[in-house]
Homo-oligomer: A and B are copies of this chain.
């Protein structure tokens, strides 16, 4: 005989947490709590197998199922001491769906089932609260009428509105018991009129009607769509849970509340919660009444003048204390519980792992380890890497008052305040005068780098999470709000307008890059703490991690920060960022407008000392750790000025006229710069640029070696798509290395490798690895080309794609594992087939995304590299990936 029904209650259960597939999430969890001996309102789960049977057999049940359910119902009656349908002492039950995977709000629920014209009278007497009783009855009629009988909600709402209007009521709270009684009566009349037969008064008929409706709701349109979007197979089915109702609002010996086994804000190991006497669960949430503290200690801390549960219901509080101990011992994690007290009897309605702040997360994990509850590996598993971002940046003081002007995208986390400036030059000038500034732009371009570097925060009115501003800001760890479309920037008037508020240059604003909010004035912030629990746990992290973690760093400041955050090298130095300094960019522009190779070589040579100094600093800071330097990548036109004035300056420096500069700019203009004359294509067509960069790298390395430190330069050629491109450029780099080592009379090891950032490079990785000594996946460009999708232009539709479920997550935040992922796998596999010991990493934005880190671990990469601020996140994610924790995507 198949077992179709599993009971729980009275400190025991036939099921448990491991039977999730059969009992659904809710049923399994209720059974688990009951087995632990906790006072769970008794009930039973009808299995998901019945759901499958039901829809395959024309909405009928297996023959032997009903007797099992009847028996289970009798069990509930016995435990509760009331009887289903008994006019004087009626058992009321709830009917709820419960699938294997959570499908919030997709399926139907019926509460207070068992009420009818007779039992409602008994309940009114027993509860002594006619208002509560008839309110419950009319709710039941509406829910049942809607869910089971298929009547529109508006039919019920109309009756209620008419009644309120006729009796001069405006709010539901104005209605007394008599009113609800009358409304319930009118509901019954309406139902009979609509359906041609009376509302079912027989509790058994009610019960099976509701169970059938819940099973049917598995196949309703909403649920089907939801499953389609979330790839939930139809054959999973849902379970149905029938459970005794309990009420916390039947008098002063009743109460309801929520509590956490530890403080979810601080992580402190102290009971923490709120309750309301004589109230329903929803009253706590609704905020109509002020909840009271659970404990005396909490009362003191919060300065509440309301009595705590510890004082008013000491016996029940004691029971709750033992529940707390039992649950933490069992689940070995902080729990978030709901309870109800009905006539001095405690009922546990739910327990689940409690949500917590990043700070609490660390404290709880470390404390539980110290308490012997969990081991180090488990402690490492417990912290959500995505949350870590909170910890690494200043945050707004939650108590501070604020006037929000607008909301944009939370592009780079952290809070910052400063005076508004509208261009990068002003930012540099003002900061030079000791001011703190927020750089406000419609959008930023590589020319703004200087100003972005010195600004406390960056605000743009256009562009998405992966716009230039957002990417650069995240790289720098500078707070940034992007795409705040409701704000209007007027560069000429130097104003920022939000509705009718006008912010002028020099006015102070605050931005919160974690929430996207833009606020007037200075809002106080709280600085992050990175010692204590954080530091201890991060040490454990490195014990489990098998993948390396490097940082993307272009400046000495970045490099120092990277080491502080635990980076094991630099995975990406973007050399082009070094050319935007005002002293240097003029030479770069001379390079671009040069008439011939001779002129170009002369201009390039002026950049050599700067580049060399940059690399000396980076090598010295990283002292023996690998430093991967990418040769020039962006198209040349990115370095040209846009203003007449700027062009005049370039013309003068290059000994030519403005017309010639303009002509050159027009010649360099590209329709699709992302797919244009950039990366190694520059190296092939203007060999002198890469030669200069290689010389700077090797001369810097020689200088650092002579100063007694060690170096590991890794020269990286960008945008390779063909074997011969790489061969030609590698040869040039090697020639330069030999030349420098000979001239400087030193020896050091170095590698020459390439980015794999184009589909062609991934497909030809086997050939390319014949000469390339390392690969670094540039998953940003690889995503752009694999999907034919420009990061900068995807803004207007990517959210629509996410909403419609066409994409599961933003492919520029979390690597897309099917297509881009296949190319990464192909690239890594073919590369290793040719050169088994080839070092393979990933650099760019994705490297700091936990789900991507998990992917990299699966593919077997040697390291990930990300912005310095994300290094701890990547370390943690890598440790969890090594420990086999399942990753969540950043949908």
Identify the A interface with B (CB < 8 A).
670-677, 681, 684-685, 719, 721-722, 724-725, 728, 757-760, 763-764, 781, 784-790, 792-794, 796-797, 800-801, 804-807, 818-820, 822-823
CB-nearest residue of chain B relative to A795?
B677
Quick check: A672 and B790 within 8 Å, CB to CB? Answer: yes
Point out the residue from B786, B793, B797, B807 that lies within 8 Å of A759, measured CB to CB: B786
29 CB contacts below 8 A, A to B, read A670-B793, A671-B673, A671-B674, A672-B673, A672-B674, A672-B675, A672-B790, A674-B788, A675-B675, A675-B793, A677-B794, A677-B796, A681-B797, A719-B788, A721-B788, A725-B806, A728-B806, A758-B786, A759-B759, A759-B785, A759-B819, A760-B786, A760-B787, A760-B819, A763-B786, A763-B819, A763-B823, A781-B788, A784-B788
The answer to whether residues A722 and B674 also contact, given A786-B785, A800-B685 and a CB cut-off of 8 A, is: no
CB-nearest residue of chain B relative to A462?
B667
The answer to whether residues A793 and B763 also contact, given A721-B819, A786-B785, A788-B785 and a CB cut-off of 8 A, is: no
Quick check: A801 and B684 within 8 Å, CB to CB? Answer: yes
CB-nearest residue of chain B relative to A725?
B806
Quick check: B724 and A806 within 8 Å, CB to CB? Answer: yes
Quick check: A788 and B758 within 8 Å, CB to CB? Answer: yes
State the CA gap A165–B793 with chains docked (Å): 71
A683 to chain B, nearest CB (A): 11
Quick check: B757 and A788 within 8 Å, CB to CB? Answer: yes
CB-nearest residue of chain B relative to A724?
B806
Point out the residue from B721, B789, B790 that lies within 8 Å of A789, measured CB to CB: B721
Quick check: B675 and A806 within 8 Å, CB to CB? Answer: no
State the CA gap A157–B428 with chains docked (Å): 66
Q: Which of A685, A764, A806, A823 has the most CB of B within 10 A?
A: A806
CB neighbours of A673 from chain B (8 A): 671-672, 793
A679 to chain B, nearest CB (A): 8
State the CA gap A811–B759 with chains docked (Å): 15
Quick check: A676 and B804 within 8 Å, CB to CB? Answer: no
Quick check: B823 and A759 within 8 Å, CB to CB? Answer: yes
Point out the residue from B670, B764, B790, B807 that lies within 8 Å of A675, measured CB to CB: B790
CB-nearest residue of chain B relative to A822?
B763
A379 to chain B, nearest CB (A): 39
A797 to chain B, nearest CB (A): 5
Q: Which of A725, A797, A823 has the most CB of B within 10 A?
A: A797
Q: Which of A681, A759, A794, A818 has the most CB of B within 10 A?
A: A759
CB neighbours of A721 from chain B (8 A): 786-789, 819
- How many copies of the polypeptide does the oligomer hold? 2
A387 to chain B, nearest CB (A): 30
A108 to chain B, nearest CB (A): 27
20 other A-B residue contacts (CB within 8 Å) besides A675-B675, A759-B823: A670-B790, A670-B792, A671-B790, A672-B673, A674-B788, A674-B790, A675-B790, A675-B793, A676-B794, A677-B797, A684-B797, A685-B796, A685-B797, A722-B807, A725-B806, A758-B787, A763-B819, A763-B822, A781-B788, A785-B785
A677 to chain B, nearest CB (A): 6
A645 to chain B, nearest CB (A): 23
State the CA gap A787–B681 with chains docked (Å): 12
A136 to chain B, nearest CB (A): 44
Point out the residue from B672, B757, B806 that lies within 8 Å of A792, measured CB to CB: B672
Q: Which of A789, A792, A797, A805 has the most CB of B within 10 A?
A: A789
CB neighbours of A823 from chain B (8 A): 759, 763
CB neighbours of A801 from chain B (8 A): 684
Q: Which of A685, A781, A793 has the most CB of B within 10 A?
A: A793
State the CA gap A789–B684 with chains docked (Å): 15
State the CA gap A823–B685 with chains docked (Å): 28
State the CA gap A671–B681 with chains docked (Å): 20
CB neighbours of A781 from chain B (8 A): 788
A461 to chain B, nearest CB (A): 12
State the CA gap A757–B792 with chains docked (Å): 21
CB neighbours of A805 from chain B (8 A): 724
CB-nearest residue of chain B relative to A818?
B764
State the CA gap A764–B821 with chains docked (Å): 12
CB neighbours of A786 from chain B (8 A): 721, 758-760, 763, 785
CB neighbours of A788 from chain B (8 A): 674-675, 719, 721, 757-760, 781, 784-785
CB neighbours of A760 from chain B (8 A): 786-788, 818-820
Quick check: B728 and A764 within 8 Å, CB to CB? Answer: no
CB neighbours of A790 from chain B (8 A): 670-672, 674-676
Quick check: A675 and B674 within 8 Å, CB to CB? Answer: yes
Q: Which of A721, A757, A823 has the most CB of B within 10 A?
A: A721
Quick check: B675 and A819 within 8 Å, CB to CB? Answer: no
CB-nearest residue of chain B relative to A783?
B760
Q: Which of A673, A677, A788, A797 has the most CB of B within 10 A?
A: A788
A219 to chain B, nearest CB (A): 19
State the CA gap A786–B721 with chains docked (Å): 8
CB neighbours of A792 from chain B (8 A): 670-672
Point out the residue from B784, B806, B819 that lies within 8 Å of A684, measured CB to CB: B806
CB neighbours of A725 from chain B (8 A): 806
CB-nearest residue of chain B relative to A719?
B788
CB neighbours of A757 from chain B (8 A): 788
CB neighbours of A672 from chain B (8 A): 672-675, 790, 792-793
CB-nearest residue of chain B relative to A792?
B671
Quick check: A684 and B804 within 8 Å, CB to CB? Answer: yes
State the CA gap A336–B629 with chains docked (Å): 58
CB-nearest residue of chain B relative to A229?
B724
CB neighbours of A785 from chain B (8 A): 675, 759, 785-786, 788
A155 to chain B, nearest CB (A): 31
Q: Which of A724, A760, A801, A820 has the most CB of B within 10 A?
A: A760
CB neighbours of A793 from chain B (8 A): 670-673, 675-677
CB neighbours of A724 from chain B (8 A): 804-806
CB neighbours of A796 from chain B (8 A): 677, 685
A779 to chain B, nearest CB (A): 13
| Smallest CB-CB A-B distances: 10 pairs | A675-B790, A760-B819, A672-B790, A676-B793, A759-B759, A758-B788, A670-B793, A724-B806, A672-B674, A671-B792
